[in-house]
């Protein structure tokens, strides 16, 4: 292999410098007191996670192509569809047929990453019981839902005594501010 055959290292949907900047920015902003800074930090961290997911998809797709003796320059829409099928992912993104340009591939992988992270965020915990009709039984299995240890059936969880003491010390204005934050 010749050195000029090695592809550029920045050929991923989310560039390394941008990713590092978002991660560092999120950490710094998270240290600053205030809801606005923490909110922006959460946004930046989520963008970095999305970029990481897209970059991981890019890496896995590249490995998929490598197993077929293909390079990213030879990636086709059909190969991308086949790869996504191996991931059990049906995308809403339009995937053109034929050889994909870098910008097309990056846009599609970013769209797939967005769909994947949105689906992951929307999915309930696998083992968490669901009681939408509030009958005390798991809607999926029909089995009774066990209450937390020491809790009466149907009772709300109690606030720990040390936290309740701190809440009672707050002024009316501080309580209103806390309610707004929640």
Q: Which residues of 70-92 are buried (b: 16+ CB within 10 A; e: fewer)?
A: eebeebbbebbeebbeeeeeebe
Residue 144, φ and ψ in degrees, nearest 5 = -65, 145
Distance CA 131, CA 50 (A): 31
Q: Which residue has the higher pLDDT, 140 or 125?
A: 140
107/133: higher pLDDT: 107
pLDDT, residue 78, reads 93
Binned at pLDDT 50, 70 and 90, residue 123 comes out as low
Q: In the predicted model, what is the mean pLDDT of residues 42-53?
A: 86
Residues 21, 23: Cα–Cα separation, whole Å? 6
So what's the pLDDT on residue 151?
Answer: 53
Q: What local confidence, expressed as pLDDT, does residue 6 receive?
A: 46
* 168 vs 158: which has the higher pLDDT: 168
Looking at residue 67, what is its pLDDT?
Answer: 92
Closest CA to 61 of 110, 23, 17: 110
Length of the chain: 182
pLDDT: which is higher, 163 or 157: 163
pLDDT at 84 over 60: yes
CA separation for the pair 59, 9 (Å, rounded): 12
Q: How much is the average pLDDT of 113-133?
A: 70
Is the pTM higher than 0.75? Answer: no
Task: Answer whether residue 69 shows pLDDT above 90.
Answer: yes
């Amino acid at each position: 292999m010749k050195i000029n055959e090695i592809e550029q290292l920045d050929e991923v949907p989310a560039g390394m410098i941008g990713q590092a900047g978002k991660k560092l920015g999120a950490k710094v902003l998270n240290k600053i007191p205030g809801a606005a800074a923490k909110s922006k930090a959460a946004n930046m961290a989520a963008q970095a996670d999305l970029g990481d997911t897209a970059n991981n998809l890019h890496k896995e797709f590249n490995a998929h192509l490598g197993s077929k003796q293909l390079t990213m320059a030879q990636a086709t829409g059909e190969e991308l569809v086949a790869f996504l099928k191996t991931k059990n992912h049906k995308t809403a993104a339009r995937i053109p047929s034929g050889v994909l340009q870098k910008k097309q591939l990056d846009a599609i992988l970013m769209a797939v990453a967005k769909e994947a992270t949105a689906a992951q965020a929307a999915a309930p915990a696998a083992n968490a019981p669901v009681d939408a009709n509030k009958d005390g039984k798991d809607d999926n299995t029909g089995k009774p839902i066990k209450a937390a240890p020491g809790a009466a059936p149907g009772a709300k969880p109690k606030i720990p005594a040390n936290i309740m003491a701190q809440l009672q010390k707050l002024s009316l204005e501080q309580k209103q501010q806390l309610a707004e934050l929640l």
